[in-house]
Structure 1
Amino acid sequence: MSRRRPSSRSSRPPRRPGRGGGKLRIIGGDFRRRLLPVLDSPGLRPTPDRVRETLFNWLAAATPGARVLDLFAGTGALGLEALSRGAAEAVLVERDPRVAGALADNLTTLGLRQAEVITADARPFLASSPPRPFSLVFVDPPFRQGLAGDCCAALEAGWLTEDAWIYLETEATLSPEVPATWTLHREVRAGDSTGRLYRRTGEAGESPDGDAC
């Protein structure tokens, strides 16, 4: 939702890049109600407030102190929300240099020195050697490009803490393949997308408290 998504509504005229632009509203935490500019780029829009509010209610206990990875960051709506709510640090990965630059400007505006924007494609980025593992990961790839499964599998190569939380957003028609060590915790539907929150467990088929699923 905060990334480029193909649209079937071809009757709507395309927006002209570089003119106008929207706003991203932080909905909770230290920067609650702050409005940040969003670059006017085709298909780029923040994850809706309702979805973010639901997601971060689920993650209320997990966000403070978290080490966050936001893949396909786009507007940075999810990463910025996590930082506002007490995440210790964040890495936001966005391949479009203009979008990444606008995101970096917003981090500077908020004075968030514990966050870093990396201009890179997510799949090559995940093929590199991971730094310290992340405890909270957002994966929101462009729709209908076959990216979700590959990225989820790549995260298992040292990118996640043992009990990490992973939020995956895909087109509603997709039933994503995720690693066997991930347990579905909650899901939310909004328009043509479905968001799923997973918890990584020690062994396949176990829930976070150790009970069989």
Structure 2
Amino acid sequence: MRKPNAKPAKPAHGGQGQLRIIGGEWRSRRFAFPDGPGLRPTPDRVRETLFNWLAPHVEGARVLDPFAGSGALYLEALSRGAAEALALDLNPDSVAALRGTLDALRCGRGQLLQSDALRYLDTQAPKVFDLVFLDPPFNQNLLAPVCDLLEQRGWLAPRAWVYTESENPPSSLGLPGNWRLHREKKAGQVYYALWQRETAESPDA
């Protein structure tokens, strides 16, 4: 996610930015990422808030990041003990940079694919994920279709957690009716929220 006055500052197109991992095994390790259209790396304070919300649920989780971008959320989850994580991104430079970071960290639990999120979720045999990060490019009407595919195609565990970043308030997004809004906040012009999937087989704890 990118917001006014976020640090690090937005690099010029074609340049590089740098972020740090906040917690877990690789705490304070820094990694570089290439700039790209619509890229909004999630700032440190937002990631810290999110992973405080998720603290009991990350270790051992199966994680999906369909719009990986800088990889900040993906790497943070792996650092904090996610069992496995799949990241998708259309930008080959982003995928290559993330692959280099995983190699440098000697992490074998992360999978990276250069792929369109909607096409992948619609055409591939689904795997079940416990935690999904959804931070798509804004103003392209991607969030609702991706959420529908996750729900309808069987990509989510019964009590899966889904994180969203959006330019509009969470209440206006039109996400699946069985997703319960757990937490929400606003940073600059960006709304971020955590949802939990509910099913008839998984009543409220």
**Shared fold by TM > 0.5?**
yes
Partner of 1:35: 30
Partner of 1:171: 167
Partner of 1:63: 58
Q: 1:9-28 maps to which residues of 2 (within 5 A)?
A: 15-17=12-14, 19=15, 21-28=16-23
For each residue in 1:120-162, what CA deviation from the matched residue of structure 2 results, as whole angstroms up to 9, or x when unmatched?
A: 0110011023343000001111111111100000001110000
DSSP 3-state at the match of 2:96 = helix
**Is residue 63–residue 82 contact of structure 1 (8 Å, CA) maintained in 2?**
yes
1:42, 1:128 → 2: CA distance?
25
1:74 is displaced (CA, Å) by: 0.2
The structure with the largest alpha-carbon Rg is: 1
Q: Which amino acid aligns with 2:162?
A: I
Partner of 1:138: 133
Partner of 2:74: 79
- After superposition, the CA RMSD in angstroms is 2.1
1:181 is displaced (CA, Å) by: 1.3
Say whether residues 1:201 and 2:178 are aligned partners: no
DSSP 3-state at the match of 1:31 = coil
Partner of 2:117: 122
**Is residue 92–residue 114 contact of structure 2 (8 Å, CA) maintained in 1?**
yes
Q: Number of residue pairs matched?
A: 197
Distance of aligned partners of 1:64 and 1:169 in 2 relative to their CA distance in 1, 3 Å threshold? same
Distance of aligned partners of 1:171 and 1:16 in 2 relative to their CA distance in 1, 3 Å threshold? closer
Distance of aligned partners of 1:200 and 1:102 in 2 relative to their CA distance in 1, 3 Å threshold? same
The answer to which of 97-106 and 142-151 deviates more is 97-106
For each residue in 1:43-88, what CA deviation from the matched residue of structure 2 results, as whole angstroms up to 9, or x when unmatched?
A: 4342000110000001000000000000110011111100000100
2:62, 2:101 → 1: CA distance?
19
Runs of at least 5 residues in structure 2 that lack an aligned partner in the other structure: 5-10
DSSP 3-state at the match of 1:113 = coil
DSSP 3-state at the match of 2:186 = strand
1:42 is displaced (CA, Å) by: 4.5
1:173 is displaced (CA, Å) by: 5.3
Partner of 1:10: none
DSSP 3-state at the match of 1:53 = helix
1:133, 1:59 → 2: CA distance?
18
1:208 is displaced (CA, Å) by: 3.0
**Is residue 183–residue 195 contact of structure 2 (8 Å, CA) maintained in 1?**
yes
Q: Which amino acid aligns with 1:141?
A: P
Distance of aligned partners of 1:43 and 1:146 in 2 relative to their CA distance in 1, 3 Å threshold? closer
Residue identity over aligned pairs, in percent, reads 48
2:25, 2:200 → 1: CA distance?
36
1:16, 1:67 → 2: CA distance?
33
1:144, 1:59 → 2: CA distance?
27
**Is residue 36–residue 91 contact of structure 2 (8 Å, CA) maintained in 1?**
no
**Is residue 39–residue 137 contact of structure 2 (8 Å, CA) maintained in 1?**
no
TM-score by length of 1: 0.86
1:127, 1:42 → 2: CA distance?
24
1:16 is displaced (CA, Å) by: 4.4
